[in-house]
């Protein structure tokens, strides 16, 4: 298990190796990347902020939830902070499991959950302005 907030560039290969076990028949990797458009605005770059200590702990909590729900063998998550350019990777979620079905399902659920509860924020900077994007406020148990 690895849960990390970092300013360094994210390396998908490293995360895949990290979660792969000899009993894993599947590794699913989600990679969130910065795209050049949002709500019709031409995005120049994003800037991410995080409450690092809490974010890493909450990532561990949601990984444990997933491990209780699916027979998966390992989970790792990393989120990058600071300024990210178009095409750079902001989030990696890797899940290994004996079989692909639970690896896909758990990875999908973890990405959704991440966006609900992990204290990470992004600021969108476009030509002529900038704005902190705020998601829906949800209950932690939600």
Give contact residues for another protein (rule: CB under 8 A): 32-35, 38-39, 46, 48-51, 53-54, 57, 79, 90-91, 111, 114-123, 132-137, 140
Q: Say how many residues make up the chain.
A: 142
Tokens coding 40: 């019709």
73 or 106: whose CB is closer to another protein? Answer: 106
Tokens coding 61: 């909590």
Question: Shortest distance, CB of residue 25 to another protein, whole angstroms?
Answer: 27
Residue 10, class by beta-carbon neighbours within 10 Å (0-12 exposed, 13-18 middle, 19+ buried)?
buried
Tokens coding 140: 């932690």
Helix (H) or strand (E) holding 124: strand 120-126
10 or 27: whose CB is closer to another protein? Answer: 10
30 or 98: whose CB is closer to another protein? Answer: 30
Question: Shortest distance, CB of residue 42 to another protein, whole angstroms?
Answer: 14
Question: Shortest distance, CB of residue 39 to another protein, whole angstroms?
Answer: 7
15 or 122: whose CB is closer to another protein? Answer: 122
Cβ atoms of residues 8 and 81 within 8 Å: no
Give the whole-angstrom CA distance, residue 63 versus residue 40: 34
Question: Shortest distance, CB of residue 124 to another protein, whole angstroms?
Answer: 9
């Amino acid at each position: 298990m690895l849960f990390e907030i970092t300013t360094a560039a994210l390396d998908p290969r490293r995360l895949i190796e990290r979660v792969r076990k000899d009993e894993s028949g599947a590794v699913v990797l989600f990679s969130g990347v910065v795209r050049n458009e949002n709500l019709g605005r031409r995005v120049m770059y994003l800037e991410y902020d995080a409450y690092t200590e809490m974010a890493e702990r909450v990532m561990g909590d949601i990984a444990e939830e997933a491990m209780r729900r699916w027979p998966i063998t390992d989970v790792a998550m990393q989120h990058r902070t600071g300024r990210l350019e178009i095409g750079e990777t902001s989030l990696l979620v890797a899940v290994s499991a004996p079989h692909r079905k639970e690896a896909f399902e758990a990875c999908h659920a973890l990405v959704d959950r991440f966006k609900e509860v992990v204290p990470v924020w992004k600021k969108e900077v476009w030509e002529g302005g900038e704005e902190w994007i705020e998601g829906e406020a949800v209950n932690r148990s939600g």
